């Protein structure tokens, strides 16, 4: 056992949430009379939290007041529709079961709103995580190491005994800022080329490969 704790990103790593995010963004944009965004655009916009998704989704020059209205509409819609099309990636359930059987601790750290993270983890992965943390007011989101550090403190694990697993440049930087090893996955919202450009040291193509790295 190389590590004691595996910390996972959520969107693009454990769950394919892209369609539901796009649907809620486009619902809010339509309400504001703004152009719709494609799936590929939304894929590029995600990774830095919901506010950044909205700021990237609205037209350039949109006022702060209008951006806030779009954000509020998005949040209301996403709360009711966050699991309409969302599904775990193939092999994730088996991976988490194998980690538990191997007596690893597991956690989720996401830039998604904390309430949504907890709802989705309970719906799809009930009982499979020892800690679940999303974006909360007053706590810096990834790539700042604050949420990762809170999980380490909560579970009493030294950072050298933990690994961060994610699908984006934000996750690579988060692990770097937290002083931890990182495993990058290429089935999520970023391509292998994008991960390489971000400085990813270890890239895997299937969830089962994680077992050989931890």
Q: Which residues are catalytic?
A: 9
Residues in a beta bridge with 184: 166, 203
Separation between Cα atoms, residue 100 and residue 137, nearest integer Å: 31
Counts of helices then strands in the chain (DSSP H, E):
9, 8
Beta sheet of 5-8, edge-to-edge order:
131-135, 105-113, 5-8, 162-166, 181-185, 203-204
Total Cβ atoms within 10 A of residue 32: 14
Query: First and final CA of the chain: distance in angstroms?
Result: 6
């Amino acid at each position: 056992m190389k590590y004691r704790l595996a910390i996972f990103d959520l969107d693009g790593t454990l769950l394919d949430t892209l369609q539901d995010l796009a649907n809620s963004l486009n619902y809010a944009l339509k309400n504001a009379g703004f152009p719709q965004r494609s799936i590929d655009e939304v894929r590029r916009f995600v990774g830095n939290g919901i506010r950044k998704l909205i700021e990237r989704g609205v037209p350039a020059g949109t006022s702060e007041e209008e951006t806030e209205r779009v954000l509020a509409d998005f949040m209301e819609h996403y709360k009711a529709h966050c699991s309409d099309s969302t599904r775990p990636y193939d092999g994730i359930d088996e991976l988490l079961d194998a980690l538990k059987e191997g007596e690893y601790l597991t956690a989720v750290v996401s830039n998604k709103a904390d309430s949504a993270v907890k709802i989705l983890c309970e719906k799809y992965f009930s009982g499979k995580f020892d800690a679940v943390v999303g974006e909360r007011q007053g706590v810096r989101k990834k790539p700042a190491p604050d949420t990762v550090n809170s999980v380490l403190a909560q579970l009493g694990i030294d950072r050298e005994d933990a690994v961060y697993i994610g699908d984006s440049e934000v996750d690579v930087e988060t692990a770097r800022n937290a002083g931890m090893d990182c495993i990058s996955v290429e089935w999520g919202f970023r391509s292998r080329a994008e991960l390489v450009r971000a400085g990813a040291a270890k890239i895997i193509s299937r969830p089962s490969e994680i077992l050989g790295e931890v």
